[in-house]
């Protein structure tokens, strides 16, 4: 167990709806990254938050947005859901210090199904 | 789309045999990491190798990195049925803070 938790575990939504996924980072970690993993593929980077600011974004449209809170937990919001948004959404927390890379610890993921 | 390649895509071996998975990439890296994933669950970090390292060991795992060929390999020795999982390489590029994952190798270890 990494200490990173995600909720909910599973979610079913209808095309066009909006969804919010949540992630609690490991104690002492100030950085959260979100990844989307489609079935049979490797995870793809969505964005990263460091000290409540977006710190890098992958090739995802603006309807994918996020937040990081003062306790370093994070939310991923997806508007106007499309069928292709069906995937496992993973968050990972890490401790970022200038010039030093630390490992990312992944949560168990949220399985989103869009019908 | 992913910018790394892993091969093989699938590997099936008998318990006790060694399993080797390879990963190639195109850009400069800060480090390269290997992860394991069981049946669509969360990723488990296995090992990290920095760009100035050539080989690293952790238990039954051995990772090599050849930055001139932009490739890495993961060797699992004396495999067990419990090693059955998908294995992914992920690189941290020098220009950013994101991990870029390969497509993964599905390893099946038959008892």
What confidence tier does B2 reach under pLDDT thresholds 50, 70, 90? very low
* Closest-CA distance of chain B to residue A112, Å: 12
Quick: pLDDT tens for A80-115. 999 999 999 999 998 876 656 668 889 999 999 999
Rounded CA separation A39/A99 (Å): 34
Interface of A with B (CB under 8 A): 2, 4, 31, 33, 35, 37, 39, 41-45, 48, 50, 55-56, 58, 88, 90, 92, 96, 101, 103-109, 111
Cβ-based contacts of A103 with chain B (< 8 Å): 33, 45, 48
Please give the sequence-ordered ranges of beta strands (E in DSSP) within chain A, or none if there are none.
Answer: 5-7, 10-13, 19-24, 31-37, 44-50, 53-57, 64-68, 74-78, 87-94, 105-106, 110-114
Contact (CB<8Å) B33/A103: yes
Residue B1 has a pLDDT of 41
Contact (CB<8Å) B98/A48: yes
- Identify the sign of the CA torsion A56, A53, B36, B39: negative
Residue A101 has a pLDDT of 66
Residue B45 has a pLDDT of 92
Residue B93 has a pLDDT of 77
Residue B6 has a pLDDT of 86
* Closest listed residue to residue B36, CA positions, set B94, B100, B82: B82
B47 reaches A (C-beta below 8 A): no
Quick: pLDDT tens for A37-78. 999 899 999 999 988 999 889 999 999 999 999 989 999 999
* Closest-CA distance of chain B to residue A18, Å: 23
- What are the strands of the beta sheet with A5-7, ordered from one edge? A5-7, A19-24, A74-78, A64-68
Contact (CB<8Å) A42/B101: yes
* Closest-CA distance of chain A to residue B57, Å: 17
């Amino acid at each position: 167990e990494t200490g990173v938790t995600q909720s909910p575990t599973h979610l079913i939504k209808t095309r066009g709806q909006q969804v919010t996924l949540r992630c609690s980072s490991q104690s002492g970690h100030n950085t959260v990254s979100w990844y989307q993993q489609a079935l049979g593929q490797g995870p793809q980077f969505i964005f990263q938050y460091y000290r409540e600011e977006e710190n890098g974004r992958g090739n995802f449209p603006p309807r994918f947005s996020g937040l990081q809170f003062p306790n370093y937990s994070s939310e991923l919001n997806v508007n106007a859901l499309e069928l292709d948004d069906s995937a496992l959404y993973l968050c990972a927390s890490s401790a970022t210090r200038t010039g030093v890379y630390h490992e990312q610890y992944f949560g168990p993921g949220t399985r989103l199904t869009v019908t | 789309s992913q910018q790394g390649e892993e091969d093989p895509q699938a590997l099936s071996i008998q318990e006790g045999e060694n399993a080797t998975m390879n990963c190639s990439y195109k850009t400069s890296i800060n480090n390269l990491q290997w992860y394991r994933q069981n049946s669509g669950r969360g990723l488990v970090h296995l090992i990290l190798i920095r760009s100035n390292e050539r080989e690293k060991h952790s238990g039954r795992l051995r990772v090599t990195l050849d930055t001139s060929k932009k490739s890495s390999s993961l060797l699992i020795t004396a495999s067990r049925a419990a090693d059955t999982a998908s294995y992914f390489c992920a690189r941290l590029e020098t220009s950013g803070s994101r991990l870029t994952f390969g497509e993964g190798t599905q390893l099946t270890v038959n008892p």
